[in-house]
Amino acid sequence: MNAKIERVGKEIDRTKAKISEQQARLRELERQRAELENLEIVDIVRGKNISFTELAQMLEDMRNSKS
């Protein structure tokens, strides 16, 4: 095989490996962000000292107001 073609093929393989690593890193960062956002929401709700029933009603009211 031509040396230039082989070199380009190896570079393609390295680039694909880097892309795969970065995609995995992105998925992990997105998971971390979602977890932190969820924790923030829980802290806000706990700080309001409302019952689960009141929370459910509030969320239902918000959902209905968007329609």
| CA-based radius of gyration for the chain | 24
**Can you give the pTM of this predicted structure?**
0.68
- DSSP codes joined into one string, 15-42: HHHHHHHHHHHHHHHHHHHHHHHHHHHH
Q: Which pLDDT value is given to residue 45? A: 85
Q: What percent of the chain has pLDDT over 90?
A: 67
- For 13-42, how does the pLDDT look when each residue is reduced to its tens digit (9 = 90+)? 999 999 999 999 999 999 999 999 999 988
In the chain, the number of structural domains is 1
Q: Which pLDDT value is given to residue 48? A: 87
Domain span at residue 30? 3-66
**Dihedral-angle region of residue 50 (phi above 0 means left; psi in -120 to 50 means alpha; beta otherwise):** beta
Q: Which residue has the higher pLDDT, 26 or 65?
A: 26
